[in-house]
Structures are given as C-alpha cells and as structure tokens.
C-alpha cells in the first residue's frame, strides 16, 4: 500500500519543556491506527502538529508527497487531512441538518456569502445521504444542543468527514460514551469511513476499543513513541504495560486470552 503520511524527526518544545521528541511515523493508505498514552504523553500534540493547529519546532511532515509543515489547518484540510475533537465542535443552536449543511458549504468554500445561498437541492441530498451513513437521520431536525452525547459525537465526526478526506484523525471518539454505547458508535463510524476508503488515526484511552478496531498501535510516553506495532504485540510490550495500560489490564487480558475469562469483559 502507498504511504500517505510520513513524519520524520518531529519535535515540539515549549521553552525547556519537550512536548514531542524524535517522532518518526509512516502511515499507509487505509490503515486504522490507534494512538495511546497517558495524559500528557504527546498524543494530542502529535495530532495538532499534523493537522496544523500547532507548529512543530523542527522535523518534516509529508502528506501524499507534499510538505505540509507550517501550513494552516484550513489549508491542510483542503489537501485531505481532517480531524474531530474530543469535545464535539458543532453549532449548538442549529439543527443536525443545518450543521451538516454548513459543513458541506465550508468544505466547498461556497454557500456562506450573500450571493451564494447555503441551501440547494443537491447539497441537501448529500446531507441526507450523510445522515444515513452515520445513522442519525432520526435526529435530522433536532437542535444540536439537545442531542445525547453519542449522537453529538457522531455529528461532529460526520461533519469532519464531509470533505471525504484521505486521512481522518479522531480525538477520543468514545470519551463520555457509556460502555453500552461505545461499540455500536465505533461500528457506525468505522463502517461509514470504510465505505469512503478513509485512512484513520484515532486517540483512545479505552483498550477494548483499540483491540477491536485498529490494525496498528502508536504508544506515546513523555513525547516519544515507545512502541509501534500491531495491537496484540503492542499491548504485551513491557514499556506499554508499565507506562500506558498498567499491569492490571495486562493481567486480566492475559487471563482472558488463556481462557480464564471473557475477553469482552477483560
């Protein structure tokens, strides 16, 4: 598969504080990559640098063969890297339909000016198709501020995906979601993005989600990647066990894999 994102020797410092150090990553098209690490490990710093929200101190970021270091977020989004945030970025006073309508207009760089109306039949049809893909059609006319947390998350991610990005980076898609809802929510997201052949990188603290959905794990500790491997290998790594997931998770997971427990409850 083709490498779509290549990061080399990426660093970010804030005075004497090193937030990211010697980050080297190559991501191939259609990969699903989980980014794990304790709070402050450098996960969000990495995503912010790739998406233009934070300027690296040094290093190289190439997307589809193009140097994107220093480009603003809007330009990076136009090139094909989009993102969602841990706290959903939606227009709270507008309906779900209107949120997506505005997202499409912004992606198309039309529809927000006086001479170009926001609504047209073609755009509205695309919005309704998108609502179907993310299984939120029943909330079409609901005001975003009234949505349950899981639906608001789906709306936020759906809005980030309207431009059909090559890469979509998600910041903790299951945070604030109940145990009963999390797998269904991720199934919906992954199926919608699979149909678009989107490469996915997502930050996640829930190791059950990581185990179930990713093909590869990047584990961060103190601003560095300490493991880059498939999930089965990464979650057994000594450094990951010590600094990220803890020995208790490792113990229960090992028992489940050895038939002493239910892996879905480990």
Flag the least confident range among 7-11, 58-62, 92-96, 254-258: 254-258
Residue 58 pLDDT > 60 = yes
**Minimum mean pLDDT among 4-18, 20-34, 182-196, 243-257: which range?**
243-257
Q: How far apart are CA 22 and CA 26, in angstroms?
A: 13
Residue 47: pLDDT above 90? yes
pLDDT value of position 248:
53
Question: Hey, what are 66's tokens?
Answer: 């193009």
Q: Does the domain made of 3-91+164-265 have the CATH classification 3.40.630.30?
A: no
**pTM of the entire predicted model:** 0.88
Inter-residue contact 60 to 243 (CB < 8 Å): no
Per-residue confidence at 164, pLDDT binned at 50, 70, 90? very high
pLDDT exceeds 70 at position 88: yes
pLDDT for residue 29: 95
Domain ranges (residues) in the chain: 3-91+164-265
At 102-148, the pLDDT tens digits run: 999 888 875 444 445 777 888 899 999 999 999 999 999 999 999 99
pLDDT above 80 for 257 = no
Element at 13 (helix H, strand E)? strand 3-14
């Amino acid at each position: 598969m083709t490498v779509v994102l290549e990061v080399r020797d990426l660093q970010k410092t804030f005075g004497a504080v090193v937030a990211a150090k010697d980050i080297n990553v190559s991501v191939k098209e259609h990969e699903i990559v989980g980014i794990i690490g304790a709070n402050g490990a450098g996960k969000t710093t990495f995503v912010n640098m790739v998406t233009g929200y934070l300027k690296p101190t040094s290093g190289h970021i190439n997307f589809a063969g193009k140097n994107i270091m220093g480009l603003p977020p809007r330009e990076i989004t136009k090139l094909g890297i989009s993102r969602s945030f841990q706290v959903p970025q939606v227009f709270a006073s507008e309906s779900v339909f209107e949120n997506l309508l505005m997202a499409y207009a912004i992606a198309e760089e039309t529809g927000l000016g006086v001479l170009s109306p926001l609504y047209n039949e073609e755009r509205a049809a695309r919005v309704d198709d998108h609502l179907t893909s993310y299984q939120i059609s029943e909330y079409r006319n609901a005001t975003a501020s009234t949505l349950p947390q899981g639906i608001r998350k789906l709306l936020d991610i759906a809005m980030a995906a309207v431009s059909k990005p090559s890469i979509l980076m998600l910041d903790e898609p299951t945070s604030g979601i109940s145990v009963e809802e999390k797998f269904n929510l991720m199934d919906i997201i992954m199926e919608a993005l699979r149909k678009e052949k989107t490469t996915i990188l997502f930050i996640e603290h829930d190791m059950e989600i990581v185990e179930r959905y990713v093909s590869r794990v990047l584990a961060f500790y103190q601003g560095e990647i300490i493991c880059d491997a498939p999930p089965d290998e990464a979650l057994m790594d000594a450094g990951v066990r010590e600094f990220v997931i803890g020995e208790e998770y490792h113990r229960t997971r090992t028992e489940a894999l050895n038939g002493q427990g239910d892996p879905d409850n480990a």
